[in-house]
Amino acid sequence: MRLGLTLWSHSGWQSEFYGSGTSAGDRLARYAEVFNTVEGNTTFYASPGAHTVLNWRDATPDEFRFTFKLPKAITHEHRLRNASPLLNDFLTLMAPLQHKIGMWTIQLPASFGPEDLGVLYRFRQQFPKDFPLGLEVRHPQFFAKGAAEKELNQWLIEQNIDRIIMDSRPVFSASPTDPVVLDAQQKKPKVPVHAIATAHHPMVRFIGHPDLEANVAFFTPWLTKLSEWIAHGKQPYLMIHTPDNLLAPQLAKKIYGQLQTHVQNQFALTLPDLSEFPAQKGNNQLSMF
């Protein structure tokens, strides 16, 4: 499986994760010593410069995988319509990283509903068949287990596209008295959790509770589901968030350890150890690679 966070650069991780001497420019390289994927939110808001793309490529090992979101200009402003020039420009810009792309992710707004599926189907034709794609939908009808959701899921299976799964239960269970939690609750969608694998790399976005221990109960069902996917030959992606992401590395480490134990006990399979955080390294553990 692949384990990652929603970002690789966070000033609050300096002492506990990167190490106090790590410069901002070296954070991706330090992140990639521990995690083998990342949710590339940065491209949703703005496209990087060409030099930055090369820096990202050079800072990560060959086995690392980015899951970059398509720009919001394509998915939210154009709503996938008449977006060919924007998509071509974006894919051309990101081409030096193509061999490290685990998934191009299409995050659609909540207003993109069943009546827009034809647009999605036509948009998909603009990607080469071998480009790995993931889709995140937020319209209520795609979670109602009715005709719209069945049609979408069947199309995803036929097209070998992974449906991205959002689990925001932990963060919505937190008291909104903390401004950070309240902000996260206002920004994250509150949608049902439909744990379906429509292709080979099901992605779970786990939006954690600020109290690390409170996440254990919410993650318990995922121990079984992720283990089953792994045992059946799939390679799931698990992306860990917390409201301000300050403790996201620690939460990822905690629940990955639980998953290791579960996979071993239930299926006699071994997941490699997570490397020590760079700030704490004696580096005597196995890499995830």
- Over residues 56-98, the pLDDT tens digits come to 999 999 999 999 999 999 999 999 999 999 999 999 999 999 9
- The confidence score (pLDDT) of residue 208 equals 94
Residue 288 inside a domain? The answer is no
Looking at residue 287, its pLDDT comes to 42
- When divided into structural domains, the chain yields a total of 1
The DSSP output letter for 168 is: -
Residue pair 105/164 in contact by the 8 Å Cβ criterion: yes
Tell me, yes or no, whether 285 lies in a domain.
Answer: no
CATH code for the domain in which residue 250 is found = 3.20.20.410
**Predicted confidence (pLDDT) per residue in 180-194, tens digit:** 999 898 988 899 999
pTM comes to 0.93
**Beta-strand runs (E) in 164-276:** 165-167, 203-207, 237-241
Identify whether 200 is part of a domain: yes
Domain with 91, as residue range(s), is 2-280
Share of the chain above pLDDT 70, in %: 97
pLDDT level of residue 100 (50, 70, 90 thresholds): very high
- Return d(Cα 95, Cα 50) in angstroms, integer: 10
> Would 132 be classed as within a structural domain?
yes
> Is residue 129 a part of any domain in this protein?
yes
Asked if residue 41 is part of any domain, the answer here is yes
90-91-97 Cα angle (round to 5): 115
Side chain identity at 226, as an amino acid letter?
A: L
C-alpha to C-alpha distance for 228 and 213, rounded to whole angstroms = 24
Q: Which amino acid is at 163?
A: R
The region of weakest confidence among 117-131, 223-237, 273-287 is 273-287
**Which residues partner with 134 through β-bridges?**
105, 162
Q: Count other Cβ atoms within 10 Å, centred on residue 50.
A: 13
Could you tell me what percentage of the chain is helix, strand and coil, using 3-state DSSP and rounding each to the nearest 5? Answer: 45, 15, 40
**Assigned domain for 286 exists:** no
Q: Is residue 289 situated within a structural domain?
A: no
